[in-house]
Chain A
Amino acid sequence: MLEYLAYLSIMTGIYGILSLSLNLQYGFTGLANFGHVAFFCLGAYTSTILVVLVKGPFILGLLGGMVAAGLFGLLISIPTANLKEDYWAIATLAAAEIVRLFFLNEDWIFGRGPYHGGAFGIGGIPRPLQSWFSATTYPFFYLCIVILCLVLTYFTVRFLTNSPFGRVLKAMREGDDLPLAMGKDVSKFRMKAMAFGGAMGGLAGSLVAHFWSFIDPYQFMPIETFVVWAMVVVGGKGNNIGALVGAVIIQFFYISTLFLKDFIPIDPQVLASLRMVVIGVLIVLIMLFMKEGLIKEKKRVYQR
Chain B
Amino acid sequence: MLKVIDVHKSFVGIKALDGVSLEVERGSITGLIGPNGSGKTTLFNVVSGFYPKDAGEIYLKGERIDELPPNEVAGKGLCRTFQISQAPEKMTVLENMLLAPKDQMGEGLWNAFFGKKRVMHQERHNLEKALYLLSSVELIDLSNEYAGNLSGGQKKLLALGRILMADPEIILLDEPTAGVNPTLNKSLMRLIEDLRKEGKTFFFVEHNMKVISDICDKVYVLDFGRKIAEGTPGEIQQNEEVLEAYLSGSSREWSRKVGIDT
Show the binding face of A for B, using Cβ within 8 Å.
159-160, 163-165, 167-168, 170-171, 173-175, 177-186, 192, 196, 238, 297, 299-302, 304
Top 7 A-B pairs, shortest CB-CB distance:
A164-B106, A183-B74, A178-B86, A174-B88, A180-B70, A163-B112, A183-B75
What 0/1 pattern do residues 52 to 74 of B give for CB contact below 8 A with A? 00000000000000000111101
| Distance (whole angstroms) from the CB of B169 to the closest CB of chain A | 13
A165 touches B90 (CB 8 A): no
**Chain B 98-114 interface residues, beta-carbon cutoff 8 Å to A:** 98-100, 102, 104-109, 112-113
What chain B residues lie within 8 Å of A167 (beta carbons)?
A: 91, 95, 98-99, 107
27 A-B residue pairs with CB within 8 Å: A164-B106, A164-B107, A164-B123, A167-B95, A171-B88, A171-B91, A173-B88, A174-B86, A174-B88, A178-B87, A179-B71, A179-B99, A180-B71, A181-B80, A181-B86, A182-B71, A183-B102, A183-B166, A184-B71, A184-B107, A185-B71, A299-B144, A300-B95, A302-B94, A302-B98, A302-B127, A304-B127
B48 at the interface (CB under 8 A from A): yes
Which residue of chain A lies nearest to B145 when distances are taken between CB atoms in the complex? A299
Q: How many cross-chain pairs have Cβ atoms below 8 Å apart between A and B?
A: 106
Question: Other than the known A170-B95, A238-B90, A300-B91, what 15 A-B pairs have Cβ atoms closer than 8 Å?
Answer: A164-B112, A167-B107, A168-B99, A168-B107, A171-B91, A174-B89, A177-B86, A178-B82, A299-B146, A300-B95, A301-B92, A302-B94, A302-B95, A302-B143, A304-B127
Q: How many Å lie between the Cα of A233 and that of B98 in the bound state? A: 28
Return the contact of B144 from the options A165, A179, A192, A302 (Cβ within 8 A): A302
Count class of interface residues, chain B: 35 or more
| Complex contacts, A182 vs chain B, CB 8 Å | 71, 74, 79, 99-100, 162, 166
List residues of chain B with CB under 8 Å of any chain A CB. Answer: 48, 50, 69-72, 74-75, 79-82, 86-92, 94-95, 98-100, 102, 104-109, 112-113, 119, 123, 127-128, 131, 143-144, 146, 162, 166
Inter-chain contact B127/A170, CB cutoff 8 Å = no
The distance in angstroms between the C-alpha atoms of A164 and B89, with both chains bound, is: 17
Q: Which residue of A lies closest to B100 (CB)?
A: A182
CB within 8 Å for A164 and B90 given contacts A177-B50, A192-B109: no
Residues of B within 8 A of A165 (CB): 106-109, 112
Verify A186–B71 contact, CB threshold 8 A: yes
In the complex, how many angstroms separate the beta carbon of A51 from the nearest chain B beta carbon? 28
The minimal Cβ–Cβ distance linking A47 to chain B, given in whole angstroms, is: 24
B245 to chain A, nearest CB (A): 30
| Given contacts A164-B123, A165-B112, A181 and B74 within 8 Å (CB-CB) | yes
CA distance A164 to B118 in the complex (A): 12
Q: B166 to chain A: which residues have CB within 8 Å?
A: 182-183
Residue ID in chain B nearest A192 by CB atoms: B109
Check A178/B144 contact, CB under 8 A, given A163-B106, A165-B109, A304-B131. Answer: no
Which residues on B sit within 8 Å (CB–CB) of A299? 92, 144, 146
Interchain nearest-CB distance for B81 vs A (Å): 8
Chain B residues positioned under 8 Å from A178 (CB to CB):
82, 86-88
Please name the residue on chain B nearest to A302 by beta carbon.
B94
**Candidate in B80, B91, B105 with the most chain A CB atoms within 10 angstroms:** B91
- A302 vs B91: C-alpha distance in the bound complex, in angstroms? 12
Bound state CA distance, A167 and B90, in angstroms? 11
Cβ-defined contact, B88 with A170, below 8 A = yes
Q: Identify the closest chain A residue to B79 (Cβ).
A: A181
CA distance A174 to B146 in the complex (A): 13
Give the complex CA separation of A168 and B104 in angstroms. 11
A174 to B229, CA, bound (A): 38
- How far apart are the CA atoms of A302 and B94 in the complex, in Å? 7
- B74: chain A residues within 8 A (beta carbon): 180-183
**Interface-central residue, A170, A179, A302, by most chain B CB under 10 Å:** A302
